Amino acid sequence: MKKLVAGNWKMNLLPSQVGDYARRFLAEVGKLEGVELLLCPSDTALPAAVEAFSGSNVFVGAQNMHSVCSGAFTGETSGEMLLDLGVTHVLLGHSERRHVFAEDDELIHTKLVLAHELGLKPILCVGEKQEQRESGSTERVLREQFEGSLGKLPAELLAATVVAYEPVWAIGTGLTATPEIARQAHAFLRSLLVEKLGEVASTVPILYGGSVKPANAAELMSQPDLDGVLVGGASLKPESFAAIAKAALKT
Ligand code: PGA
């Protein structure tokens, strides 16, 4: 499977900055084959990103969506609205959604089902907090999040989902998981997929996220069961995100 290199701009970069970013990024990676590229800007930058990357090898995704398609939900954005813009992917259950915005597995599951119904490709994030790792509960937490958000999905929808392992302690901290820690967590997530899907489990991409940088991307992506990366801070500069995309080809 091709590696998937995805960028999550979070609440950064203005719509007016997208054109310059796209020019510089595409100058580096516009002809890159053998790797799948995805950028997830903030909602307000999505139209500019869809336009700037149309016809290129870069997909555009959203960072979240609401659990229903329309209605009295002031301030929210629905999957149907994203689709109408030309967005193809959506991040769901990112640790900031779980821990800052109190999203639980049940809500994330509802969003996942809706994303699939609409034809948006969901990237479901799971990951343990520092104290959970220290108390030896990493696998229990990963299993709970996996079961709670994905467990009830029909097999064909589960098989069409991207999973991202993002240990909370590694996000935005500079504390990247060691290749060994990532390898173990990815092997565990793969085993959960095998329980549900059997052989098909090997076709579901499992991304790693948490302080990925140009300097550590190739080593991480060389680990078994690590099918790409989800990059926050290092995706804000087109040259560093491009370097991570190129690192995927060395693995
Ligand atoms: P980071 O964020 O690369 O800045 O650690 C990753 C993420 O939150 O997806």
Instruction: Give Cα separations from 208 to 4, 23, 238, 239 (angstroms).
Output: 10, 27, 20, 20
pLDDT in tens, 171-229: 999 999 999 999 999 999 999 999 999 999 999 999 999 999 999 999 999 999 999 99
Mean pLDDT of 117-139: 97
> What is the whole-number distance in angstroms between the Cα of residue 198 and the centre of ligand 1?
30
CA distance 43 to 116: 20
Closest CA to 42 of 5, 12, 16, 74: 12
CA distance 110 to 106: 6
Measured from the Cα of 170, ligand 1's closest atom is 5
SS3 86: coil
pLDDT tops 90 at residue 29: yes
% of the chain beyond a pLDDT of 70: 100
Q: Does the CB atom of residue 233 touch ligand 1 within 6 A?
A: yes
Q: Whose CA is nearest to atom 3 of ligand 1?
A: 232
pLDDT tops 90 at residue 58: yes
Closest CA to 36 of 165, 158, 207: 207
Confidence of residue 5 (pLDDT cuts 50, 70, 90): very high
Q: Does the CB atom of residue 172 touch ligand 1 within 6 A?
A: yes
Instruction: Give Cα separations from 113 to 22, 58, 87, 93, 170 (angstroms).
Output: 31, 25, 17, 13, 28
pLDDT value, residue 87? 98
**End-to-end CA separation in angstroms for the chain:** 12
To test the pocket of ligand 1, the residue of 13, 165, 166, 171 to mutate (highest count of ligand atoms within 8 Å of its CB) is 171
pLDDT value, residue 250? 87
Report the length, in residues, of the chain.
Answer: 251
Mean pLDDT of 22-51: 97
pLDDT tops 90 at residue 101: yes
Measure the CA dihedral 207/139/155/119, to 10°: -40
Closest CA to 221 of 229, 213, 211: 229
pLDDT value, residue 25? 98
Q: Does the CB atom of residue 232 touch ligand 1 within 6 A?
A: yes
Supply the residues annotated as catalytic: 94, 166
To test the pocket of ligand 1, the residue of 4, 5, 8 to mutate (highest count of ligand atoms within 8 Å of its CB) is 8
Closest CA to 104 of 134, 136, 67: 67
SS3 226: coil
- For the entire predicted model, the pTM comes to 0.97
pLDDT tops 90 at residue 9: yes
Contact indicator for 126, 164 with CB cutoff of 8 Å:
yes
Instruction: Give Cα separations from 168 to 21, 51, 56, 174 (angstroms).
Output: 28, 33, 32, 12
CA distance 141 to 128: 6
CA distance 162 to 91: 9
Across all residues in the chain, what is the average pLDDT? Answer: 97
Mean pLDDT of 61-70: 98
Contact indicator for 41, 241 with CB cutoff of 8 Å:
no
pLDDT in tens, 134-167: 999 999 999 999 999 999 999 999 999 999 999 9
Mean pLDDT of 40-55: 98
pLDDT value, residue 251? 86
pLDDT value, residue 245? 98
% of the chain beyond a pLDDT of 90: 99
